[in-house]
Chains A and B, each alone.
Chain A
Amino acid sequence: MPTFEYAPAPESRAVVDIPDSYRLWIGGEWVEGRGTPFPTINPATEETLSTVAEATAEDVDAAVRAARTAYTRIWSRMSGTDRGKYLFRIARIMQERARELAVLETLDNGKPIKETRDFDVPTAAAHFFYHAGWADKLEYAGLGSSPRPHGVVGQIIPWNFPLLMLAWKIAPALACGNTVVLKPAETTPLAALLFADICQQADLPPGVVNLVTGAGATGQAIVDHPGIDKIAFTGSTAVGKMIARSIAGSDKHATLELGGKAANVVFDDAPLDQAIEGIVGGIFFNQGQVCCAGSRVLAQENIVDDVVDRLKRRLETLRLGDPLDKNTDVGAINSERQLARITELSAVGEAEGAVRWDTGCPLPKNGFWFRPTLFTEVSQSHRIAQEEIFGPVLSVLTFRTPGEAVAKANNTPYGLSAGVWTEKGSRILWMADQLKAGVVWANTFNQFDPTSPFGGYKESGYGREGGRHGLAAYVRKGTQQ
């Protein structure tokens, strides 16, 4: 198969200006953190990008108080129309500063510029735009006659889509009239810190959005703070369970968007070219560091060899390397820790008897990299078929009948997403009924839209984000005033 040579086409870094250090964004001001500042690095080069403050419990308390003041004095008294105007403005500024956001996100996260430019940033802006429109229409959303905000919302987001997850969290919270204390992930804080600047440009009242950086301890301080009315968390199932335990018996509400182990079910009548593209995108998008990644392929037994051959051929054309290069398909793994986990689980896959194959492509010297990897001969009990790897590793399993496909697809503790590939419409809809997953993609995968609810069944968490249903997470139940 011919491979094409590409000249490097790097996106310029000149559009972003990263200060040497960042403080916390509390009450509309940059304030010193009381913890130990920590570096954030470019995972593609291991170069330190900046140093970020660590928020202690005391800092979190200051942020919660600022959010409470903004809620009581300003945000809860403002009309939905006016709240919407701020959100529209934020959406517009994100569109205006799209290139800057995309480059910064790629530097801090390691994902290809192609993805930040064409997916993360525009989708994040769209999320603000969509929710801006809801701010003055909440009474139509089927949430009761006078939906009320919770108050102060604590939000903890992961490192895989730093800006997009921020948008998923902040846009609906603000639209519904809440104020926010948000903690970005410790390895990817820069997009959120730039977002503070966007809030300033939008003249967002001080304290409506507060940003505290730090790791697990900072997150725990948010969860434990008595002034927080609601927790919204996206991240691992293990941490999600800890949060659910922490708030047990309290008045706090939570929505949890956790891990997944999605199956792409490929029937023998599937449009195979399309299915291969969907499977590859489903697991190698963002280096597989996606909670809804299609990390398992369930191929009908009579086509599995063909599917695997085609997958290998397609994977060999993926370009791994400099995330800022516009031709790059596969970027860097976000952190050394994550790379270690992917490496370890892949070794377990081999040890348990699955057959490992990877593209053999050269890896850059510095940074954290993992080749697109395929496992065949995988059985359901293998850890690589049960546990979320969160990396560019695909496990191929087989099935004979639709019933067996459903049983295997559902056979994990997770239930976030699933894919179905078949030309038969009735089968798509039957499968969609049987699959225990919050999102089912048919003849496509990894589609996201602000209007479309996203979230999981079972141990993938509870609550939905996006769409009319996503609003429910940010208003109190009941209609009593």
Chain B
Amino acid sequence: MRKTYKLFIGGAFPRSESGRSYEVYAAAGRSGKRAFLANAAKASRKDARNAVVAARKAVGGWAGATAYNRGQVLYRVAEVMESRRDQLVAEVRTAEGLSPARAGAVVDAAIDRWVWYAGWSDKIAQITGNLNPVAGPYFNISAPEPTGVVAVLAPQDSSLLGLVSVVAPVIVTGNACVVVSSESMPLPAITLAECLATSDVPGGVVNILTGDAAEMAPWLASHLDVNGIDLTGAADLDWAAFEAAAADNLKRVRRPGPEDLAAAPELTRMTAWLETKTVWHPKGR
């Protein structure tokens, strides 16, 4: 039986409100032929806006959860990914045209990366926050807080590791995200959504849209209830226009750039979506 691949919005798996879908093919085999895999949902502007609403609804509770709790929930995601490893390997292999061993290595790297980020939940503040020795009788401390709702254009050419590499660092600190998956390789993204849906991640913290990034990106970039946008997957699009649109409400923007997904990630993937809050309080008897 073949599976229907749908969107992931607010913890549910709806079809696109537009009723549209598009054909997804495997990577070219030796014969050069590309096998048909599925009709994926083609998300619309309205779907993107619904996803933002879901993310906004979820972000308060997620940001307010303890870091320990978020860390455990995200670690659970990695556990569920591990339990679905065979499926993820098969999908990544088909989508990216990799050998079984290579696909296995990519999935393992994605799981390890998820665990790596899960561990940061209760440590990032210990690295990025500090006491400031101000010249006066004041207690003064700076600590990070999540930015809010972040739109993410996931890498187009890495169906799972790329996706994990951009989603995990956004949500581990308490943000919620709306992510547009790789257009041509969306199926591992939906399987990841199924992992998220069975991992105690509150609905709406991660929303995954499949379809045409060029179609959805302008709406996400200009959406006034989105606080940040990661343009990693927009290198081949007119990302400068997205950045300009994002200026309307001063979204935090991460520009596309050379990405080495195999290398150890940089903290900037997390710190890009953090605000620094400094608290002053007088000292005195």
Establish whether residues B285 and A84, one from each chain, have CB atoms under 8 Å apart when the complex forms. Answer: no
Interface residue stretch chosen among B113-121, B180-188, B219-227: B113-121
A178 CB to closest chain B CB (Å) equals: 19
Q: Which of A103-154 contact B (CB under 8 A)?
A: 126, 129-130, 132-134, 136-137, 140-142
**A131 — nearest CB in chain B belongs to which residue?**
B119
Interface residue stretch chosen among B67-75, B96-104, B162-170: B67-75
Count residues on chain A whose CB falls below 8 Å from chain B CBs.
Answer: 28
* Residues of B with C-beta under 8 A to A468: 123, 126-127
A81 CB to closest chain B CB (Å) equals: 6
Give which listed residue, A88, A134, A426, A467, contacts B115 with CB less than 8 A. Answer: A88
The DSSP consensus for interface residues of chain A is helix
Report the bound CA distance from A429 to B140 in whole Å: 11
Establish whether residues A426 and B282, one from each chain, have CB atoms under 8 Å apart when the complex forms. Answer: yes
* Residues of A with C-beta under 8 A to B115: 81, 84-85, 88
Establish whether residues A140 and B283, one from each chain, have CB atoms under 8 Å apart when the complex forms. Answer: no
Q: What's the interface size class on B, roughly?
A: 20 to 34
Asked if B112 is an interface residue, CB under 8 A from chain A, the answer is yes
* Residues of A with C-beta under 8 A to B120: 133, 137
Asked if A425 is an interface residue, CB under 8 A from chain B, the answer is yes
Establish whether residues A129 and B72, one from each chain, have CB atoms under 8 Å apart when the complex forms. Answer: yes
* Residues of B with C-beta under 8 A to A84: 115, 119
B81 CB to closest chain A CB (Å) equals: 14
Known: A426-B283, A426-B284. A140 touches B267 (CB 8 A): yes
**A405 — nearest CB in chain B belongs to which residue?**
B285
* Binary contact readout B271-285 vs A (1 if CB under 8 angstroms, 0 otherwise): 000000000011111
Establish whether residues A425 and B281, one from each chain, have CB atoms under 8 Å apart when the complex forms. Answer: yes
Establish whether residues B281 and A133, one from each chain, have CB atoms under 8 Å apart when the complex forms. Answer: no
* Residues of A with C-beta under 8 A to B119: 84, 132-134, 136-137
* Binary contact readout A395-428 vs B (1 if CB under 8 angstroms, 0 otherwise): 0000000110000000000000000000001110
Asked if A50 is an interface residue, CB under 8 A from chain B, the answer is no
Asked if A430 is an interface residue, CB under 8 A from chain B, the answer is yes
* Residues of B with C-beta under 8 A to A81: 112, 115-116
Residue among B116, B139, B284, B285 with the most chain A CB within 10 A? B285
Establish whether residues B283 and A136, one from each chain, have CB atoms under 8 Å apart when the complex forms. Answer: no
Report the bound CA distance from A81 to B113 in whole Å: 10
Asked if B122 is an interface residue, CB under 8 A from chain A, the answer is yes
B258 CB to closest chain A CB (Å) equals: 22
**B116 — nearest CB in chain A belongs to which residue?**
A136
Establish whether residues B68 and A430, one from each chain, have CB atoms under 8 Å apart when the complex forms. Answer: no
* Residues of B with C-beta under 8 A to A134: 119, 123
Establish whether residues A430 and B116, one from each chain, have CB atoms under 8 Å apart when the complex forms. Answer: no
Q: Which of A425-467 contact B (CB under 8 A)?
A: 425-427, 429-431, 433, 450-451, 467
Give which listed residue, B122, B137, B267, contacts A133 with CB less than 8 A. Answer: B122
Establish whether residues A129 and B71, one from each chain, have CB atoms under 8 Å apart when the complex forms. Answer: yes
Give which listed residue, A142, A425, A430, contacts B285 with CB less than 8 A. Answer: A430
Known: A88-B115, A133-B119. A451 touches B126 (CB 8 A): yes
Residue among B118, B120, B122, B282 with the most chain A CB within 10 A? B122
Known: A84-B119, A133-B120, A134-B119. A427 touches B68 (CB 8 A): no
Establish whether residues A130 and B267, one from each chain, have CB atoms under 8 Å apart when the complex forms. Answer: no
* Residues of B with C-beta under 8 A to A430: 137, 283-285
Give which listed residue, B116, B122, B126, B281, contacts A429 with CB less than 8 A. Answer: B281
A174 CB to closest chain B CB (Å) equals: 14
Q: What would 10 more interface pairs be, CB under 8 Å, given A402-B285, A450-B122?
A: A129-B75, A130-B122, A130-B123, A134-B119, A137-B116, A137-B123, A426-B281, A426-B283, A451-B68, A468-B127
Interface residues of A (CB under 8 A from B): 81, 84-85, 88, 126, 129-130, 132-134, 136-137, 140-142, 402-403, 425-427, 429-431, 433, 450-451, 467-468
The 9 closest A-B pairs by CB, nearest first: A133-B119, A429-B283, A402-B285, A426-B282, A426-B284, A468-B126, A429-B139, A430-B283, A430-B285
- Contact sample, A vs B, 9 pairs, CB 8 Å cutoff: A88-B75, A130-B68, A133-B119, A133-B122, A142-B127, A426-B283, A426-B285, A451-B126, A468-B127
